[in-house]
Amino acid sequence: MFQLGRFILSRLVSMVVTIFLIITITFFLMHAIPGGPFASEKKLPEAIEKALNEKYHLDDPLHKQYVDYLKGVAVGDFGPSFKLKGQNVSDIIAQRFPVSAQLGGIAIFLILIAGIPLGVVAALKQGTWVDNMVMFLAIIGVTIPSFVIATVMIYTFSVKLGWLPPARWGEFDQMIMPSIALAAYAMAFVARLTRSSMLEVISQDYIRTARAKGLTEKVVVFKHALKNALIPIVTYIGPLSAGIMTGSFVIEKIFAVPGLGRFFVDSITSRDYTVIMGVTIFYATFLVIMILVVDILYAFIDPRIKLDQ
């Protein structure tokens, strides 16, 4: 337990350093881009633009803006949105993230309940028609972009058959197509990854020993083989979860899902600096947390893996 606590503490320190570097790089990159948040095709009168820059302290020296922004981030304040009047970036993230997290959570659930079992079955039936069929579907899944899958699903199940609504979010039938479209690539990749990992594990000596002792195939597969085969899957799922749950702008845009990813893209096109930086910092924090969780899970999945600094 002491070793685990020391490991987590060291990782927390490295997380803080990583996030600080991301804040710094993002801040100065945003200010290095020509133009500004109030630049548009229709140029504002100079007096109005000057007043807006003064209101949001954009006329302060860059180093002062940077220090002030760091102070705000330290207390969880990402500042006001330049484009959405009266809205704070922290509030926007709090409103939009639950939608993206719900979509991502359903997608991850589909990835796990479909990808892992298909990979296991393909490995156990290596060389049979079952293995070939699973790998054929997996190849299709990893080669066809998610936006193509989304478009085909809308055309088939909404336009032609009329079974599902083509857009929006909230009702159960509105969640089906976005979740499947978002999960398709990762589901196929996890199936391929599980298959290759299982094939490697079941060829090990300790698996042959377990079978020689008379253990049932169910015990050999689920108690001994699958546990060790899950390590690369956990490695992949950790960062993937951060990316999926913080918003997929392509899927959210196609299905008009009011999530964080779609809003992030809109903020980029409108050069809403504070929103871009706030969402970037939020995503980075979520990602490094998920990586830490994966590292901790390693020790529970495989006791041979030791946590160290």
The model's confidence at residue 3, banded by pLDDT at 50, 70 and 90, is low
The model's confidence at residue 109, banded by pLDDT at 50, 70 and 90, is very high
The model's confidence at residue 44, banded by pLDDT at 50, 70 and 90, is low
Tell me what the pLDDT averaged over the chain comes to.
82
Written as one letter, the residue type at 155 is Y
pLDDT at 118: 93
Rounded Cα distance between 246 and 244, Å, is 6
Residue 231, burial from CB neighbour count under 10 angstroms (0-12, 13-18, 19+): middle
CA distances 47 to 57, 81, 85, 189, 230, Å, are 15, 21, 19, 55, 61
Cβ neighbours, 10 Å, residue 236: 18
The model's confidence at residue 309, banded by pLDDT at 50, 70 and 90, is very low
Q: Which two tokens stand for residue 187?
A: 């589901």
Q: 116-124 vs 226-245: helix axis angle to the nearest 10?
A: 150
Which residue reads 């490995």 in tokens? 123
7-11, 188-192, 194-198, 277-281, range with the lowest pLDDT:
7-11
Rounded Cα distance between 96 and 246, Å, is 9
Rounded Cα distance between 19 and 265, Å, is 21
Q: Note the pLDDT tens digit of each residue in 246-268.
A: 667 788 888 888 888 878 877 87
Cβ neighbours, 10 Å, residue 22: 18
Share of the chain above pLDDT 70, in %: 88
Rounded Cα distance between 196 and 16, Å, is 36
29-38, 129-138, 208-217, 300-309, range with the lowest pLDDT:
300-309
Q: Note the pLDDT tens digit of each residue in 220-250.
A: 887 778 877 888 888 888 778 877 876 677 8
Sorted by sequence, the CB contacts under 8 Å of residue 46 that are 6+ apart come out as none
Of 252, 255, 281, 283, the C-alpha closest to 265 is 252
Written as one letter, the residue type at 276 is I
Q: What are phi and psi of 239, to 5 degrees?
A: -60, -35
pLDDT at 247: 61
pLDDT at 113 over 90: yes
Q: Are 168 and 174 in contact (CB under 8 A)?
A: yes
Rounded Cα distance between 287 and 237, Å, is 11
pLDDT at 191: 92
